[in-house]
Chains A and B, each alone.
Chain A
Amino acid sequence: MSEKSKSDDLDKLGERLSKARNQRVEASDKSKPRGKSMGMAYRLSYELLIAVLVGAYIGWLLDDWFGTKPLFLIVMFFFGMAAGIINVVRTSDQMAEQDKIDAKKNENKSSDKQ
């Protein structure tokens, strides 16, 4: 085998390797988001629901203490809704930030390889 054909073979191998690598990166990008985005959607809805429940429960406890039956329950229910919306906004902010960090990391990784 001459020197020239050897380096040709190596070049071909390099090409095939980089192709396989790219495919792998694509595949991992595709498979990830499904479970992740479902988790995100659930997280936001729990966040909203639980705040309303906690608010209403606090109101119910206050009513029990002061003997003002439905007053605090109703007031705190609405406060709970507000708290829930704040929670959702904050959670989605966190998610957006996390996505940015992840995107940056992926960029660094792919540029490291080249």
Chain B
Amino acid sequence: MSHSPLDQFKVKTLFELDIAGFDASFTNSSAFMLAIVLLISFFVIGGMSKASAVPTRWQSMVEMVYEFISSMLHEAAGREARKFFPFIFSLFMFVLFANLMGMIPYTFTVTSHIAVTFTLAAVIFVGVTVLGFINHGMGFLKLFVPTGVPMALMPILIVIEFISYLTRPISLSVRLFANMMAGHTMLKVLAGFVASLGVFGILPIVFITALTGLEIIIAILQAYVFAMLTCIYLNDAYHPSH
């Protein structure tokens, strides 16, 4: 068994599955995604199954997350975006649980793969664009036309705005993937120093402990940023003018 710091990101096939020529094997990544969904369902349903006016700790935890997402969506995207609450809530919970679950040793971090984060971001990007055209028709293209600009500069600015729009799914996915991957690799590299430094291995251990705390903050923060940016993009689909 190798001990490369990147070994933790390896996708292993648990059992093979072939659907119409596509490799749809059940991997450790899929297993963890399934576990995350089950865990979220357990957390939410378990907390609310015996809901009462005076909440238990568990119930108030679920309610806190609900209110947090609800107010975030309201502030960032306005009242019309309310019907996307289930989507934003699921998205936030999925990314949050994936990030936090990756902090447990010997687990697999689903969000440390750009294939996963880019899929999420692409769905959001295409969805928001289609929604914008449904809501505003061709008026959605106003998003690319800044107001109060001389006609001569218009073509240049439209190109720039267009590129700026296309960067959204990429920056959204790369940010999450790079944060998770960098953090986990750093922890593994430092852990490698512990064995090779002998007695002085205590120094990296202290550092790893501090870094683990920071990583947990980053895990929560990145889930928040991911959901927050989705809300901001939704806002553009409803109110396209800058």
Asked if B179 contacts A42 (CB within 8 A), the reply is yes
Decide yes or no whether B24 CB sits under 8 A from chain A.
no
| Distance in Å: Cβ of B60 to nearest Cβ of chain A | 17
Q: In which size bucket is the chain A interface?
A: 20 to 34
Interface size on B, residues (CB 8 A): 22
| Distance in Å: Cβ of B31 to nearest Cβ of chain A | 29
Asked if A43 contacts B167 (CB within 8 A), the reply is no
Asked if B175 contacts A43 (CB within 8 A), the reply is yes
Decide yes or no whether A103 CB sits under 8 A from chain B.
no
Asked if B167 contacts A54 (CB within 8 A), the reply is yes
Decide yes or no whether A86 CB sits under 8 A from chain B.
yes
Interface of B is mostly: helix
| Distance in Å: Cβ of A33 to nearest Cβ of chain B | 11
| Distance in Å: Cβ of B113 to nearest Cβ of chain A | 17
Query: A35, A42, A79: which contacts B163 (Cβ < 8 A)?
Result: A79
Query: A34, A50, A58, A101: which contacts B171 (Cβ < 8 A)?
Result: A50
Asked if B221 contacts A36 (CB within 8 A), the reply is yes
In the bound assembly, the distance between CA atoms of A84 and B163 in angstroms comes to 9
Decide yes or no whether B225 CB sits under 8 A from chain A.
yes
- Chain A residues with Cβ below 8 Å from B45 are none
- Chain A residues with Cβ below 8 Å from B222 are 39
Query: A39, A86, A94: which contacts B164 (Cβ < 8 A)?
Result: A86
Q: Which of B118-133 contact A (CB under 8 A)?
A: none
In the bound assembly, the distance between CA atoms of A43 and B75 in angstroms comes to 21
Q: Known contacts A35-B214, A42-B175, A42-B179; is A83 also within 8 Å of B163 by CB?
A: yes
- Chain B residues with Cβ below 8 Å from A55 are 163
Decide yes or no whether B170 CB sits under 8 A from chain A.
yes
16 intermolecular pairs with C-beta atoms under 8 Å apart: A35-B217, A35-B218, A36-B221, A39-B222, A42-B179, A43-B175, A46-B175, A47-B167, A50-B170, A50-B171, A51-B167, A51-B171, A54-B167, A58-B166, A79-B163, A83-B163
Q: A51-B167, A54-B166, A83-B164 are in contact. List 19 more A-B contacts (CB 8 A).
A: A35-B214, A35-B218, A36-B221, A39-B218, A39-B222, A39-B225, A42-B179, A43-B175, A43-B225, A46-B175, A46-B178, A51-B163, A51-B164, A54-B167, A79-B156, A80-B163, A83-B160, A83-B163, A84-B167
**Chain B interface (Cβ < 8 Å from any Cβ of A):** 75, 156, 159-161, 163-164, 166-167, 170-171, 174-175, 178-179, 214, 217-218, 221-222, 225, 232
